[in-house]
Structure 1
Amino acid sequence: MSNYIKHPLVKPDTIEQRLYQLDLAGKALSAPTLVVLPTGLGKTIVALLVIASRLEKTGGKALVLSPTKPLVEQHASFLKTALNIPEEEILTFTGAVSPEKRADLWEKGRIIISTPQVIENDILTKRISLEDVSHITFDEAHRAVGNYAYTYIAERYFQDAKDPHCLAITASPGSSDEKISEVCTNLFISSVAIKTESDSDVSPYIHKKEIEWKHVILPDEMKELKKLLDKVLDDRFKKLGELGYSLPYGKNSSKRDLLGLQKSLQGQLRGMADPAVFSALSILAEIMKVNHAVEIIETQGLESLSKYADRLENEAVSKSGSKAAKRLSEDLYMRQFYHRIKECDTEHPKLAVVRDIVSKELDGKPDSRVIIFTNYRDTSEMVTNTLSEIEGIRPVKFVGQSSKFRDKGLTQKQQVEIIEDFKAGKHNVLVATSVAEEGLDIPATDLVLFYEPVPSEIRSIQRKGRTGRKHEGRVVVLVTKGTRDEAYYWSCTHKERRMQSNMKQWQESMSSENSNEDIANEFGITQKQQTGLADFADVDNGITVVLDQREIRSTVARSLEKMGVNISVKTLEVGDYIVSDRTAIERKSAEDFVSSLLDRDLFRQISDLAGSYDKPILIIEGEGLFTSRMLNPNAIHGTIASLVLDFGVSVLYTRDPEDTASLISILAKREQIDEKREISVHGKKSSMLLSQQQEYVVSSISDIGPGAAKNLLAHFGNIENVMKADEDELTKVRNIGPKTAAKMREILTSEYKR
């Protein structure tokens, strides 16, 4: 169409006029609205129209929230291109911008595009106020569940803003009524607006998307590997049943079934639990590890399976490895499994299919772009390496930021560079994990290939939405017959259909009362006063809690602020929360408590706390104290006894972060209001002796615990000699076996790759 949007804040001839986008914008301007629009049809343009109208008619600032830095950069680039607003007034906030600079920029900015965590932190620390924000866009709104930062920001926004208005946008809000309801409730949504590809005003802009399911057969050699694991599972499920804990589908139980049983067992650990509960949890941990290996055999490939097996074996010999991995390594069938993997030379047929499909696509259309989605990083690397051997194919791996054993993630800066190179044609195949599913604007993708189906309707819809944007696209999904691939396919198909049905019902029940007749005339929307929103009381009880900057992202900080507690964020050398001159609190989740016990850091932290404050307190938060690492309960009880008797620390337990916040606020009130005590931050982290620093450096090597570090230093005399020692020399040290020695040499001599 030749018609373009005409609006004082929209640059001429930049935004094509589409009636369905104007219709959605009109509905969104009438009330806080959840807009559901298929990927590639311009959710961001709808947001732009709403932002432009609100800024012109209401003034103030507009805030756009998006989950990741690449998406923030993408939105900022688009808004700067399309809006008739000086670029210096369109700002991006991420963790890379210092808090002090953000506070200054906030005052100058007219549109701020940010990750939600940054805005949450700045609200909590009172660096910014949402009072003059006239609009917020929540991108990828399906994330607004649980304790995600969107929920807190929305609550504070509708409490603090003079004239609040929000738009939530997503392609896939979820299939269940409960999920959709939670999103709407958390974002104070009172209207739902939906467009589908079959709607008459949308269909002219839809490009054909061919969806093809390719079935492959699991090779006999891989079936033999699976049989060995089935024998392990049969044995473990039998033992589980003998303990009185069985699952109706046995080894065919889903991951949800296993996690449900685990949660039930953990709930029985309070008080004097039956020893059978500990045994059952231990067996369940083994089942989960083996079950994951079965899934890799069925759906991934030999290289991915080998890497997972290596990690299991490494965990078994590691000092900090789980008991489940150690017991599995002693199982006869697992040992046969590890041995057979090394002999196996049959690759999963999916890899050959990928090579064939991608080669034909790029041979026929050399300028094509292809995205391959995989569930696992090991598979993405395997596919990338395989395709790189084929002339004309220029693949690149695209994964998240986290790093683990032999697997380094990508920084957000690297992610942005890869996407730009992919658009420019430097790479023509993007082999991605779930990090590429949400929002990234890659308009020229001709083929999207699922290495395996996904059971999530949200992820499936977003993956498919990466193609068919500017021209016809193709989606191919690989399915291994007779495996969980097929179960995931049917699960996802059912959820997608249910989501479409549910969304139509929601739209009918929450439809806007406005007619939207004059939308095209500068949108023609009259603003409706928002009513019926929750009334939040701003209670200032005069209580202040000083918390360490590392605690700012915890739900505890958010809950304290909601209770009316004044928060002061500082870098604390001792403690996590300070509530008076004599009372400081160290907070640890149950899992963190056990981990700090294993790495010997706990006693140093508590010693510093007790040496600096007269009333030191340790809060242990949540479940899993006796199950996260399956330590002997006597070891945990002994540690707690030492903390109380030897260090004079009060040990308190809470259910969750909200419970912790409530306890801290009561402690602060008791100290500051009842006892009239002032807050005083003091205490220094004790410095380690030279010998302790040396032990720390050596024990940072994977698989080397504090005891092994001492043995190595005692044997070789100093760190330099430890680092220079070869495998034979290392194995002469007590408790250093061949595998540990080989692992040390690999870490010390391997080339560093970013």
Structure 2
Amino acid sequence: VAALEGKCVAAPEPPSAGPSEYTMASVPLIQPNFMALMVTVWGALGSILQFCCVGLQKKRCRMAEDLELRGYQEEVVERALRGENVIIWLPTGSGKTRAAVYVAKKHLETTRGAKVVVLVNKVHLVAQLYTKEFEPYLGHGYTLVPVSGDSKEKDFFGPVLKDSDVVICTAQILYNAMTNMEETKHVELSDITLLIIDECHNTHKESVYNKVMACYVEKKLERELPLPQILGLTASPGTGGAKNLEKAVDHVLEICANLDSAIVSTKNCVSELKQKVPRPVKQFDIVDKRLEDPLGDHLKRMMEMIHEYMNIPPDFNLRKCGTQEYEADVVILEQNGVKQNNRLLAQCALHLRQYNDALLINDTLRMMDAYRSLNEFYKNKSTTAIDGTDYFLAGLFQENQVELKKLAGDSRYENPKMGMLETTLLTQFGPSVKSKGILFSKTRKSIYCLKDWVLDNKALQEAGVKAAILTGAGNGNTHMTQADTIRDFRDDKVNLLISTSVAEEGLDIPECNLVVRYGLLTNEIAQLQASGRARAKESRYSVVADKGGKEVRRELTNECLEKLSIEAIAKVQQMSTPEFRTKLQKEAVCLRKLTEAGKREKRGRNTAASVKLLCRNCLKVVACGSDIKLLDDMHYVNVNPDFEHYTVGGEVNINKSFEDWEPGRTINCSTCNQVQWVLCQLKLS
């Protein structure tokens, strides 16, 4: 509507050259000068719309042009662009996923009825790959849908895949859809034209990746076509525990066979790869073991008293206290106690594990952290004692509690590794120094203790260290919390992430100039991924450990295994492998069928009614196997209406909402008040 001389006049029908989708009412009586004005307006409007359309086209072209690959990326995608099944092997931070996006884009452009599915092995990677990688480059021209266990789309996966061009999901979501015969949930591998598998070195043994690919391999051997093209992504396939080249080659061949793919890497652009993805400077920050450890010695004496009380079977030898081997031994002892209905043996073994945990913490963290760990365990034990074993174990701790706390507070015997860790951090952090680092430790408990230590450490606070915890989702941690932490790290609100192994694989973490591995024993793949987090120039990778300790030996062993893996890949790449892959695939199918038959035979040995479920604490029978049903392939539920061996406890608070169930109160043993179950409200479909 145009306004002229105080009058409103409706515009006429636009000329034929104008934008036809716009129609306006014409006015029967209109002055000639108004007509000239309206034509001018329509001409201008047409030009504006034409400019907008051109701008949109330019934006789309620009987004497509932005998806440019480096030389080494172009080299590794060549065979994938020809439709071959390949595993892209590139180091962490080199842009494997970006190369996969490029392959997906070309596949969508050239394949009629293309359906791309991207599989990840961790829930948080669904949103990350969607937001950071695929949506920015493909979202303008294609329909992309992220699907995880938290999303409603998982219940309608069949229609979702049918109506989408690209689906990003966990491997479990796809496998559930493949095995579920309901029309709204079922999909076939033949519905997919390109299957991208992130962190594909996990395609082995009983992993969900391998279950998906087992279906693929069986269909291939039975010539059930069509099947999707496979594109795997990995920083290292590892050696599978092999210590020599022959067995390492066998492992790489097995991964290739499981994925029905050849493994490709850059040959002509190695110098560019090294320039774009520099390796950090590695250093071992070694300390001498403390000469005296009064707290550790006192804990060991208490453990000896428990050994004497429990009367360990003469044919059972416990290994050295304060080691992972000792922990494995007491776990077996507890299991034996339950099987024999020997509560004394089971409970003593359970408590010994807590003492061993305290020794491990004392060796890695502060002495006070070790004391607090044990004190927390015993807080409620004295009030729930039901026999002489409980009174002995609780009494032993109470008698020694004051002395333990006193020893834990004696700074003369503090853990020297903590001092070395402080020195390592201070070499990179300072009031006027801009640094970012990741501190890797083994357990959730240890990373929370390390954060408390950073906050309590005056020197680190003066150096401007701002620490935050990064763990996997679970135990009250949501994916949103995880994303918030990484965003704070990117925005410099946090400059030190203290993390478990969750940050070693897959997470989109900005460049760091310091990576510290503290008290970790992992394989060569995890070590390689951790070092790949130090992406900034002149970055450092530090291993803080005792002189001659297991951590140093494992680190050096992993370096050798990394080289062995590289040699094995080179050997495999020189082979003509398709026939050998088929042979391995046939053997794998036979082995899988034998394993499944063995599992079925084992399940059939006992009827459900003959299986008894015991309270772990008091060993009282609380349910039968026939009382337990599996709902929706995920919820194990006691459906016996006469179930009565319980009391209702407090509310269960979970920092997360679930689509198909809500947590209620705890269900406790009526004899000893041990928490056994959770009362849930299920929303059955």
Length-normalised TM-score, structure 2: 0.68
* 2:509 maps to which of 423, 442, 458: 442
| 1:167 aligned residue | 231
Counterpart-to-counterpart distance in 1, 2:404 and 2:267: 50
1:20 aligns with 2:72: yes
Structure 1: state its 5+ residue gaps.
Answer: 1-7, 404-408, 515-526, 537-554, 564-586, 591-615, 644-648, 662-682, 710-739, 741-754
| 1:37 aligned residue | 90
Counterpart-to-counterpart distance in 2, 1:189 and 1:9: 35
Counterpart-to-counterpart distance in 2, 1:33 and 1:320: 60
Counterpart-to-counterpart distance in 2, 1:306 and 1:195: 52
Higher mean displacement: 696-705 or 390-399:
696-705
| 2:278 aligned residue | 207
- Pair 1:268–1:326, CA change in 2 (3 A): closer
| 1:114 aligned residue | 169
1:611-650 equivalences under 5 Å are 618=609, 620=611, 629=616, 635-636=620-621
**Paired AA for residue 113 in structure 1:** I
| 1:696 aligned residue | 648
- Tell me if structure 2 keeps the 8 A contact 1:368–1:446: yes
1:219-247 per-position Cα deviation (integer Å, ceiling 9, x unaligned) = 567x1111123334556678777621125
| 1:487 aligned residue | 550
**Paired AA for residue 553 in structure 2:** W
**Paired AA for residue 477 in structure 1:** V
1:706 aligns with 2:670: yes
**Paired AA for residue 135 in structure 1:** L
- Tell me if structure 1 keeps the 8 A contact 2:358–2:373: yes
1:358 aligns with 2:425: yes
* 2:324 maps to which of 228, 232, 255: 255
SS in 2 for 1:229: helix
Which of 1 and 2 has greater Rg?
A: 2
1:11-39 per-position Cα deviation (integer Å, ceiling 9, x unaligned) = 44424433332332235566533433221
* Displacement after TM superposition at 1:293 (Å): 1.9
**Paired AA for residue 498 in structure 1:** L
1:336 aligns with 2:405: no
1:549-698 equivalences under 5 Å are 618=609, 620=611, 629=616, 635-636=620-621, 696-697=648-649
- Pair 1:236–1:186, CA change in 2 (3 A): farther
* Displacement after TM superposition at 1:45 (Å): 2.5
**Paired AA for residue 402 in structure 1:** G
| 2:370 aligned residue | 305
- Tell me if structure 2 keeps the 8 A contact 1:228–1:337: no
* Displacement after TM superposition at 1:264 (Å): 9.7
1:41-440 equivalences under 5 Å are 41-59=94-112, 60-80=114-134, 83-84=137-138, 86=140, 89-98=143-152, 99-100=154-155, 102-126=157-181, 127-129=185-187, 130-158=189-217, 159=219, 162-175=226-239, 176-177=241-242, 180=251, 184=255, 187-194=258-265, 199-200=270-271, 202-217=273-288, 223-233=293-303, 243-246=314-317, 250-251=319-320, 255-256=324-325, 259=328, 284-314=349-379, 316-317=381-382, 319=384, 328-331=393-396, 335-336=399-400, 339-342=403-406, 344-345=408-409, 346=411, 347-363=414-430, 366-388=433-455, 390-391=461-462, 392-403=464-475, 409-440=476-507
- Tell me if structure 1 keeps the 8 A contact 2:90–2:235: yes
* Displacement after TM superposition at 1:171 (Å): 2.1
- Pair 1:331–1:112, CA change in 2 (3 A): same
- Tell me if structure 2 keeps the 8 A contact 1:154–1:186: no
| 2:47 aligned residue | none
SS in 2 for 1:382: helix
- Tell me if structure 2 keeps the 8 A contact 1:39–1:465: yes
Counterpart-to-counterpart distance in 2, 1:419 and 1:211: 25
* Displacement after TM superposition at 1:467 (Å): 0.9
- Tell me if structure 2 keeps the 8 A contact 1:34–1:189: no
Counterpart-to-counterpart distance in 1, 2:374 and 2:401: 9
**Paired AA for residue 187 in structure 1:** N
**Paired AA for residue 472 in structure 2:** G
% identical aligned pairs: 20
- Pair 1:413–1:698, CA change in 2 (3 A): closer
- How well do the aligned residues superpose, as a CA RMSD in angstroms? 5.0
Structure 2: state its 5+ residue gaps.
Answer: 1-59, 653-664, 675-685
- Tell me if structure 2 keeps the 8 A contact 1:217–1:481: yes
* Displacement after TM superposition at 1:69 (Å): 3.2
**Paired AA for residue 470 in structure 2:** F
- Tell me if structure 1 keeps the 8 A contact 2:115–2:165: yes
Counterpart-to-counterpart distance in 2, 1:444 and 1:282: 47
1:501 aligns with 2:555: no
- Tell me if structure 1 keeps the 8 A contact 2:115–2:161: no
Kindly tell me the number of residue pairs found equivalent between the two proteins: 561
Counterpart-to-counterpart distance in 2, 1:327 and 1:143: 46
**Paired AA for residue 442 in structure 2:** N
Counterpart-to-counterpart distance in 2, 1:142 and 1:133: 21
